[in-house]
Amino acid sequence: MNELIKIAVCAIIVVALSPLLGFWIVALVGVALFLLPVGVIFSTLFPKAWKHVEDSLFSNKSSLSPS
């Protein structure tokens, strides 16, 4: 009986929090759909700056020390 109560509480928590999770999924997809065209415009207008950003982000060197 104790396990059944734990399962019921977990199900209630999942149902209660699902709208919040749905909101964040929709918000993150919306931000991605906004940032993709902004990145394209930025890379078209400022190709040298974009190349610098790419080199900084995708370089194999890490600024963190290995120790």
- Name the residue with tokens 């700056």: 49
Percent of the chain with pLDDT strictly greater than 90: 10
pLDDT tens series, the chain, 67 aa:
788 888 889 888 888 888 888 888 888 889 999 898 988 898 899 999 989 888 888 876 655 555 5
Distance CA 58, CA 19 (A): 36
How far apart CA 43 and CA 36 sit, in angstroms, is: 11
pLDDT attached to residue 67: 52
pLDDT digits (tens, 9 = 90+) for 1-15: 788 888 889 888 888
pTM of the full structure: 0.48
CA distances from 62 to 50, 55, 59 (A): 19, 12, 8
User: What is the number of other CB atoms lying within 10 angstroms of the CB of residue 39?
Assistant: 12
